Structure 1
Amino acid sequence: MFRKIIATDHSKTTVIIRLMTGVIFLSEGIQKFMFPALRGAGRFEKIGFIYPEFLGGLVGAFEIVCGILFILGLLTRLASLPLITIMATAIITTKFDILANDGFWSMMHAGRTDWAMLLGSLFLLIKGGGKWSLDKILLKNG
């Protein structure tokens, strides 16, 4: 089972997607704790979630931990699951309103980072960490 979770291909370029998504998730997670009124609990409260303080911390922690795992290429597929959930929820809760009120192109513009992070995470779920990842090293040594 563990081998299936860390399985990856030999792609050298997957590191680009890992670094792009990992650094952004790490940064966003840290900001949820540094600026809770704007990026963390306050944002969740504005959207209308119950328990915004809890959710702000939980989402921030997942973004930090999973962002680091993406950067390292460690448990890449497993780390992608909560991040896919976070990004799908972000799009549904914040971008559909823009779509309804301002139209498709406004929604696409406002959600460009959300879509990139969702698709980057989906890519890593499918491909794994790639050649230059700790997953690949564990797979060789396991």
Structure 2
Amino acid sequence: MTRLNRLFFTSAPPAALLIRLAVGAIFLSEGIQKFLFPDALGVGRFVKIGIPFPQVMGPFVGVVEMLCGLLILLGLLTRLAAVPLIIDMLVAIATTKVPIFLQEGFWKMAHEARTDWAMLLGTLFLLLTGPGPVAVDSRLYRKRVPGDERHSQPDRTC
């Protein structure tokens, strides 16, 4: 299998669409909000948590979240789109949840980090399995490898 085929290949079940809808919509929404509410969620937030070059990084992260969130919603270049979002979530956990853990303890951090962990794990799932058969990637894979329906379609033999 070529590298390009591996990029589009998916072993995820059709229900992966639900993960894609949640992960993609939340990242798209959060990216948009970094521009709608820059003081609370964009540049201002990045200044508060100590991100270097907040005037650059705030809008940059907003664009990455919007673009990659949209790609995940479509199931287009899903694995590539997942990588920057995984980095995004790791930085978010390190810069916002670790300080809570150090100052207020595990349970406060666990409560505050629930969405971050869900987004990180959902995005990791998409990186590992692909977007599922209801996705642009799956259609592209089927066009590139005619007749190979093994993992891009659900097993209908049961």
Normalising by structure 1, report the TM-score.
Answer: 0.97
What residue number does 1:15 align with? 17
- Out of 123, 130, 133, the position equivalent to 2:132 is 130
2:61 is the alignment partner of 1:59: yes
Q: Work out whether residues 82 and 123 of structure 2, in 8 Å CA contact, stay in contact via their aligned partners in 1.
A: yes
The answer for the alignment partner of 2:89 in structure 1 is: 87
Q: Indicate the SS of the match to 2:133.
A: coil
Q: What amino acid does structure 2 have at the position aligned with 1:133?
A: A
Q: Letter of the 1:26 partner, please give it.
A: L
Stretches of structure 2 that go unaligned for 5 or more consecutive residues are 145-158
Q: Percent identity?
A: 51
Match of residue 24 from structure 1:
26
CA-to-partner distance for each residue in 1:95-115, whole Å, 9 max, x for gaps?
A: 011111111111010011111
Larger fraction in helix: 1
Give the counterpart of 2:99 among 97, 100, 115: 97
**Could you say which residue in structure 2 is the equivalent of 1:77?**
79
Q: Which runs of 5+ in 1 are unaligned?
A: none
Which is worse superposed, 75-84 or 45-54?
Answer: 45-54
- AA at the equivalent of 1:54: V
Deviation of 1:81 after TM superposition, in Å, equals 0.1
Residue equivalent to 1:112: 114
2-structure distance, mates of 1:10, 1:47: 36
Residue 128 of structure 1 aligns with an amino acid whose one-letter code is G
Counterparts of 2:51 and 2:91, CA distance in 1: 11
Structure 1 residue 10 displacement after superposition: 5.1
- Give me the whole-angstrom Cα distance separating, in 1, the residues matched to 2:91 and 2:8: 26
* Residue 68 (structure 1) aligns with: 70
The separation in 2 between residues aligned to 1:77 and 1:4, in whole angstroms, is 10
TM-score by length of 2: 0.88
Match 1:50 to one of 52, 77, 81: 52
User: Where does structure 1 differ by over 2 angstroms across 4 or more consecutive aligned residues?
Assistant: none
